[in-house]
Structure 1
Amino acid sequence: MQTHELAYHAAHPPLAIRRVEARVLSLTDAWMRVRWRIDGPDKLVVPSFAGKGRADNLWQTTCFELFMMPKDGTPGYSEFNLSPSERWAAYDFADYRDGMSQREFAREPDCTMRTGQSIAIFDASLPRSQMPEAPCAIGLAAVLEEEGGVKSYWALNHPKAEPDFHDPACFAACLARTRAA
């Protein structure tokens, strides 16, 4: 599957991070595996381990986000927030930032973070049965906090003066329907 280079929002530049890439690693009937790679993570703030569990406001520190909008002509979409702490959140929206409800998850996502001197890797596996059906437009994004509270906002596109991962223009990648593996 294709690797997507994310861009930081011009109003919120990073401190030391040089590059962020994201990609869907695999999509089967059981799991969707997504990876974010960060170049230059030496000042990255990684949330402490908290154990699996649903939590709101994960975007207030380092957090990785996936948005999915089925290509059925409706304006609804889903948002998945994934933290290195292993906390997560999942929401459905009826329209752009409207009609938010919690998306039910019977099985929690698996999240792992590996940080080295020059790169950091965040992997997430989400249960397919609890996610929108492909084909979908998708948005891959990250909020990355660095030392001193510096936050940068990374996405496929930034069409507005302030970061807004919910903007449909940010759903710039496509997830095609695949055969079971």
Structure 2
Amino acid sequence: MTPASPLELVCHPAAPDACVRRIGVTVTREADGGLGLRYRLEGALDGLRIPAGGLPLERLWAHTCFELFVMAEGGEAYREFNFSPGGQWMRFDFSAYRVRVDSPAMPAPQLDWRRSGDALTLALTLPASALPAGALRLGITAVVEHVDGSHHYWALGHPPGKPDFHHREGFVLALPAPTP
């Protein structure tokens, strides 16, 4: 898959989402190797639990949040980013499928959350230092929590079976190395 503007996430077929009409994402690869992303969720926001902050950082993914999974093309190691509407963010590093390793310090990404009418948007910038160098594979995802406590899983691509954002088949967006 190559970048398009905007890309459309799809809901996992095991749990259709009656509240969300669509989630679109635009991706920009900066010349310095950084990434710009803009997520836009549209739907009946009153039917969703949208965190205002104060969540445990280790569990942002258990609530409504936008996520990004990044690996170097051809690699096994990857990084997971979680971005909560409450303004919190977290990242996890993995040496292979679900094998978590310590994460070195990195600068905070720039996050700009907005809620307007039936839309929730996040514009963010990740510096090149937060990403592997060279060509990348991305898994772009979202967890949507409804007021009834149910969860719905959105991604550019879902591997077969239950929702699993860590599965290599979910890293469907290929981005070439930046050109100076």
Give the shorter-chain TM-score range: 0.7 to 0.9
The answer to whether residue 48 in structure 2 is matched with residue 44 in structure 1 is yes
Range with greater deviation from structure 2 (126-135 or 165-174): 126-135
Residues 41 and 121 from structure 1, CA distance in 2 versus in 1: closer, same or farther, beyond 3 angstroms?
farther
Structure 2 contact 109–127 (Cα < 8 Å) conserved? yes
Aligned residue number for residue 124 of structure 1: 124
Number of equivalent positions: 176
Range with greater deviation from structure 2 (162-171 or 20-29): 20-29
Aligned residue number for residue 169 of structure 2: 169
Instruction: Report how far residue 173 of structure 1 moved.
Output: 0.5
Structure 1 contact 35–121 (Cα < 8 Å) conserved? yes
Instruction: Report how far residue 168 of structure 1 moved.
Output: 0.7
Residues 102 and 12 from structure 1, CA distance in 2 versus in 1: closer, same or farther, beyond 3 angstroms?
farther
Unaligned runs of 5+ in 1: none
Which of 7, 14, 19 is the aligned partner of 1:16? 19
Residues 29 and 105 from structure 1, CA distance in 2 versus in 1: closer, same or farther, beyond 3 angstroms?
farther
Aligned residue number for residue 156 of structure 2: 156
- Tell me how far apart the structure 2 counterparts of residues 69 and 31 of structure 1 sit (CA, whole Å): 14
- Tell me how far apart the structure 2 counterparts of residues 169 and 152 of structure 1 sit (CA, whole Å): 19
- Tell me how far apart the structure 2 counterparts of residues 62 and 148 of structure 1 sit (CA, whole Å): 13
Instruction: Report how far residue 41 of structure 1 moved.
Output: 4.1
Amino acid at match of 2:92: Y
Moved over 3 A (4+): none
Structure 1 contact 104–130 (Cα < 8 Å) conserved? no
Aligned residue number for residue 88 of structure 2: 87
Instruction: Report how far residue 130 of structure 1 moved.
Output: 2.4
Residues 37 and 93 from structure 1, CA distance in 2 versus in 1: closer, same or farther, beyond 3 angstroms?
same
Q: What's the Cα RMSD here?
A: 2.1
Structure 1 contact 70–137 (Cα < 8 Å) conserved? yes
SS, match of residue 65 in structure 1: strand
Unaligned runs of 5+ in 2: none
Identity %: 33
Q: TM-score, normalised by structure 1?
A: 0.87
- Tell me how far apart the structure 2 counterparts of residues 148 and 15 of structure 1 sit (CA, whole Å): 12
Q: TM-score, normalised by structure 2?
A: 0.87
Structure 2 contact 60–89 (Cα < 8 Å) conserved? yes
Range with greater deviation from structure 2 (55-64 or 21-30): 21-30
